Amino acid sequence: MKYLFLFFILNVLIISRMYCFSNYAASKVYLHTISGYHNFSLAKMPVFTVRGSILSSEINDSTKIDQRWTQPVFVVQNKTQERTCRQDHYIAVAECMYSSVKNSTSNKFVFIMMANKAFLPFIRNWLCNTAKMPGVHSRTLLLFSDHGDREMEESPFNVRAIGVNSLLLTELNADLDYNTFGYWRLVQHRVQVILNLTRANISFLLFEPDALWVQNPLFDPALQTDSDLIGFDDNRGVPGFGWLRVLPNLRVTQLFTELENKFSAQIPNYNTLTSNSVLAIQGEQDILHTLIQSQRSKPYKDLTFQMLSRTKYTSGKWYDGGRGGNGRSEREACKANGLPFVINNNWIIGNLPKITRARRWGHWFVQDNVSGSCSNSRLLQETFDQMLNSMHTLRPLHGDPLPTECPKC
């Protein structure tokens, strides 16, 4: 009888150990939220101990993605279900990604970035900038107005990219200056995509690829409210589209339907205009501001809007150079309120000046400009630390801007 009892106890211990191990293994696999590219998880990637609220890594440049993004389906997994999703249209992809986060206790949205091939250097820099921010890449969808998604096929990062079918001319998929016909046509396309996402009942946060992420915004309680729209102040008292969280409902759909109608009515269908033709119209941000201010007389009169702190989500006036002066007062205001979450690299004209300014400040994370990689983890950490240091010194790493940095500013 004694031996039988010991045998029973031994079996209980073995079964308990096996159960704990299986739960541990399952929890590691769950770290890989979207597994459509390659069957590996964050558990197989290196984990780094770093500073600045950055906890773990989503990067493994030694592992290349073998599965092409042209395949018809991908798989979204969470703790309770596995779902196969179409990826032949951006709405289908966004819906499937949203399905994996909409029942979460927080951050019930996906990140949406819209760009063309001209913005690939910024996209790659952002991927490196945020490589060690947990949860960011796995909920990010890159929407290209051209075939830029094909350029991302060999990316080692856990993001999804898809081309958005449109009637845009090929010449519009280039580096376009503000207040040109081509620029506004791309903005028009972006507004239409936003409207389609809201009609599909997808909660998302729209952001710009040229922005610097100082902290992981998924840790910001200000993004967890039930406001219909949450935006940042672009230093003109109007909400900027460079950081806009959208909670889809009838009010929001009505708002963006009117915005799209008003904005598109300004875009002429002139065959004589080139992509670089100057076109001065009312921007989408100003229209949005006007509609929000006059909402009491609108069908969406009960719409709620929340403006984020200018010291936590700041515009490109934080920098020197460009069209925003020396930026000293903006930087000091941010420093007085702790680290910002996001600094937009706007208030400057042209992609090359943006890159030059980011490099000068030590805010450029790409290590190989040809491949766009940042596989040296030690160097990536040093760059991140330099960036954090600039939040305290308020000085660029490589001196003041030269007059040639932004010729059109």
Instruction: Residue 209: name the closest of 152, 274, 278 by CA.
Output: 152
Interhelix angle for 181-199 vs 90-99, to 10°?
Answer: 50
pLDDT of residue 13: 52
pLDDT of residue 71: 30
pLDDT of residue 163: 76
Tokens of 274: 């080139």
Query: What is the Rg, in whole angstroms, of the alpha carbon atoms belonging to the chain?
Result: 23
pLDDT of residue 291: 95
pLDDT of residue 152: 75
> What is the full per-residue pLDDT of the chain (409 aa) written as tens digits?
555 555 555 555 554 444 443 333 332 222 222 222 222 222 222 222 222 222 223 333 222 222 222 233 334 444 344 456 666 688 999 999 999 999 999 999 999 998 888 889 999 999 999 999 999 999 999 998 766 667 776 677 878 888 775 545 555 667 788 888 888 888 898 899 999 999 999 999 999 999 999 999 999 999 999 999 999 998 777 788 889 999 999 999 999 999 999 999 998 776 678 888 888 899 999 999 999 999 999 999 999 999 999 999 999 999 999 998 999 999 999 999 999 999 999 999 889 999 999 999 999 999 998 888 899 999 999 999 999 999 999 999 999 999 999 998 8
CATH 3.90.550 fits 35-393, yes or no: yes
pLDDT of residue 301: 95
**Burial (CB count within 10 angstroms: exposed 0-12, middle 13-18, buried 19+), residue 97:** buried
pLDDT of residue 57: 33
Per domain, the residue ranges of the chain are: 35-393
pLDDT of residue 161: 82
Helix (H, G, I), strand (E, B) or coil at 343: strand
**Burial (CB count within 10 angstroms: exposed 0-12, middle 13-18, buried 19+), residue 134:** middle
Tokens of 79: 């703790």
**Burial (CB count within 10 angstroms: exposed 0-12, middle 13-18, buried 19+), residue 354:** buried
CA distance 213 to 5: 60
Q: Cβ(134)–Cβ(216) under 8 Å?
A: yes
pLDDT of residue 124: 94
**Burial (CB count within 10 angstroms: exposed 0-12, middle 13-18, buried 19+), residue 106:** exposed
Tokens of 74: 């991908």
DSSP assignment of 356-368? HHHHHHT----SB
Using the 8-state DSSP alphabet, how is residue 139 labeled?
G
Tokens of 122: 């910024």
